[in-house]
Structure 1
């Protein structure tokens, strides 16, 4: 008997209203709860009310590419207590994970892929149970699986197209929520790591200028400038290529200043995501954004009375430059999500390996911020311009490695001569790494020429130097104008 068209239309309208109501309820749940697993359980409960679903499951993909059951409805306490993991391609859920496509099983009793690990369908011979499973996707990638099963009124010959379409909409909403929760969790872990690092930095570490290893005249001039500027609150801009020791000089200024007993707080502006930079520098109030579960002091507050070191300041966005400029001009700020104005008392030291004048000319760095931070400028020379320090630094790093590892270590004169002829595009940091590699290779407590990377044709800096001589900066390496030697990382020995 064929259903009258008016009746079919009425049933279709009723079904559409029910789906719309369910989507509304699901979206409310996803937007109101912070605990992801609790949120997913509430979603399944809503589906059970609206769709007469008997059982539902949500699996999420873990780091090992397996599915883990994180939420369920209609299962026994014993089943929920189990650790249920499904490998890619295993069973119905594993197939959905692998293919990214929905699966419909009209009769679970006839489906060989149905694993029934949760023991939720031991009565399959008595009732015709159907299952619909859809992938949960976020940013185009499968991150989990949503499955529901229920007793089918129409038996195995029922029509499931509407169920698939509806569950796909629900799964898409779940996918967006999963992605948001994971992003917030990752940012929270990042903030915890940074907080731990800052807490370590709050414990003063003495780095007097006397510990800066040098004899070359240009570095002696730098240290003289450090002595002169340290007693004042003036903003300092430290400039130089990557690896030249900008943070070491910043700490030396702090430790020679009247603020030496107060915190020295370092912020790597290039390492912080822009979405976190404002919160990290200025702090935030509880509830100001998803995941802000308590008040958080920013770096300006943590550095109060001490020194704030903004490393790689040339990498901050134009939008954030304006916010930072306001704080530097007015010496006050508000936390993210807060209205209380907080006064700041910090000595600001900035560092960059970029050409800020060029950035200002191209509109990438604000001129007013440039003049605000460019009060006292200290230029650190690259290692290739302080060759008298190379052997001294090499011996210093040999002694440091020996002390750290309980070894009596030395380096012979031939190895020192070769090191002294290198161009060192990575500067002091590269020299330290070179010594550490060689120290792990030497066999009798003395680093010799065969232990050096360049003698084993493993020195990567020579490749970087080739790029540098083409006039293009590589990372923080400033371009040079001189022609490259025949062997790119070794200069000609003095005649």
Structure 2
């Protein structure tokens, strides 16, 4: 490239008797060659990089080395704040970069972005609009330092500015014009690279989001992990989970004990972008105040009696992942104060240490308490309540989602049948009625325990009413009437259940059903008509 460019440029030297003219032309050619070489190196770097900040930083370093352009700075408009902020700045400290923020129209850089026109300041010490916010130049009067700033165009809009410092030993007239032309070309390359990398980043984010969406759809429509339920109340829960799953917002799970709050916390973690990090659980009600504080934040060696070595707290263990604080309503006032600081600032201190530790943790809390009442009676801090209650999710009680009871019962039946290696095919009609009519004060956890017990004591292939706990067999759980069933009614229900069970096994064959029940076909026919049972509907029963 250099050889071709040199050949083209040398042809431009006209035959002249003036040695001075030839020297000037050769000097111009040398400058152009340096510019081409510099642009070639920068273009190679910009084209091969996918990290915007890294490639811009390398470009600013290149123009410093090859063009003596000091303090090369790329300033970009922050779309959120609307301010100009330094993206990269060669030779300027991190503190200086933080100070380098401008309003549109403020200072030289702000004026260039507002107008879309380049500006050359011959001597920055004499220019009142030059603010020197980064304080990178020291005493401005020590050198005849100039400042060149050109806009960076993104399509029809100005998205930022490129600026450099330059010291011209022989005056700035023509050399400044050449530098301005060079920086204008470079700003165009920066704009193209910025748009290319931003487009690639957006496409990658879209692919990640689409991948997560497909994974959720493949795992089952409107279901999340091991959470079971198709009722309208559970559909609302699924919708809330999907809305917040990829957010960093604190989630507060509300609901009675046994409604599945821990399962939802796991779903929020394992379906999020943090799923490859730790999911850490702390049961706040299981530990006394002194131990809970050490458990959450850790402690230094010698922090208290018995602290023989440093301990890492749960916040540190959950770094990058999710921390689930179960029974958050049970923590003491002292721990509430320290927890408030972590939730608000994402910093904490180990017991016995004055050093603040930053943490990147997704916080999920759960409680079965009425926190609003606890705030009113001053047992729970109001400021902590509002910090935790950013995104509340209410888990319905099982009695509020009765259409899910049979679904859950069959799910637990299969789970515990597989675990215990027994073959239990179904739940009898009587048992189903008992499950549906019971009020379930212990919610899904009580139903789970109930089905595990039934599987363990069942000797056949069907869960019957006698296999369910005594609490489900009370009059309140088997009938909604205030008066108990009469003996004749109870006998009729029992006979009807036995006949239905036999017809299910024989797929509606009454002759085979009579043999199973050790009675005659005539009696079976009589009972079928008496109890208004339709044998035909059992013919397709597997």
Please report the TM-score for the alignment, with normalisation by the length of structure 2: 0.46
Distance change >3 Å, CA 457–CA 448, structure 1 → 2: closer
Match of 1:425 in 2: 441
Cα contact 1:450–1:456 (8 A) shared by 2: no
Task: Report how far residue 413 of structure 1 moved.
Answer: 2.6
Note the alpha carbon deviations across 1:366-410, whole angstroms, 9 max, x for none.
100000000001000000000000000000001010111111123
Q: Distance in 2 between matches of 1:330 and 1:226?
A: 25
Match of 2:399 in 1: 384
Match of 1:327 in 2: 342
Task: Report how far residue 450 of structure 1 moved.
Answer: 1.2
Matches within 5 A, 1:143-292: 209-292=224-307
Q: Distance in 2 between matches of 1:413 and 1:228?
A: 39
Match of 1:49 in 2: none
Task: Report how far residue 414 of structure 1 moved.
Answer: 2.1
Task: Report how far residue 456 of structure 1 moved.
Answer: 8.1
Paired residue for 1:298, among 310, 313, 323? 313
Paired residue for 2:356, among 305, 324, 341? 341
Match of 2:84 in 1: none
**Does residue 454 of structure 1 match 2:470?**
yes
Paired residue for 2:381, among 366, 386, 408? 366
Q: Distance in 2 between matches of 1:486 and 1:344?
A: 58
SS in 1 for 2:238: helix
Q: Distance in 1 between matches of 2:397 and 2:390?
A: 22
Task: Report how far residue 260 of structure 1 moved.
Answer: 0.7
Task: Report how far residue 445 of structure 1 moved.
Answer: 2.9
Q: Distance in 2 between matches of 1:231 and 1:486?
A: 50
Q: Distance in 2 between matches of 1:413 and 1:267?
A: 41
Cα contact 2:226–2:263 (8 A) shared by 1: no
Task: Report how far residue 219 of structure 1 moved.
Answer: 0.3
Cα contact 2:284–2:292 (8 A) shared by 1: yes
SS in 2 for 1:305: coil
Matches within 5 A, 1:22-33: none
SS in 1 for 2:237: helix
Match of 1:444 in 2: 460
Distance change >3 Å, CA 455–CA 445, structure 1 → 2: farther
SS in 2 for 1:211: coil
Structure 1 runs, 4 residues or longer, greater than 6 Å off:
none
Distance change >3 Å, CA 387–CA 458, structure 1 → 2: closer
Q: Distance in 2 between matches of 1:308 and 1:456?
A: 37
Distance change >3 Å, CA 373–CA 455, structure 1 → 2: closer
Q: Distance in 2 between matches of 1:455 and 1:335?
A: 48
Task: Report how far residue 329 of structure 1 moved.
Answer: 1.6
Note the alpha carbon deviations across 1:112-153, whole angstroms, 9 max, x for none.
xxxxxxxxxxxxxxxxxxxxxxxxxxxxxxxxxxxxxxxxxx
Q: Distance in 2 between matches of 1:486 and 1:334?
A: 60
Distance change >3 Å, CA 399–CA 455, structure 1 → 2: same
Matches within 5 A, 1:396-407: 396-407=411-422
Task: Report how far residue 486 of structure 1 moved.
Answer: 4.2
Extract unaligned runs of 5+ from structure 1: 1-205, 463-483, 489-495
Cα contact 2:326–2:365 (8 A) shared by 1: yes
Please report the TM-score for the alignment, with normalisation by the length of structure 1: 0.50
Q: Distance in 2 between matches of 1:306 and 1:425?
A: 33
Which structure's residues are more often helix, by fraction?
2
Task: Report how far residue 440 of structure 1 moved.
Answer: 1.8
Cα contact 1:236–1:377 (8 A) shared by 2: yes
Aligned length: 262
Distance change >3 Å, CA 456–CA 250, structure 1 → 2: closer
SS in 1 for 2:323: strand
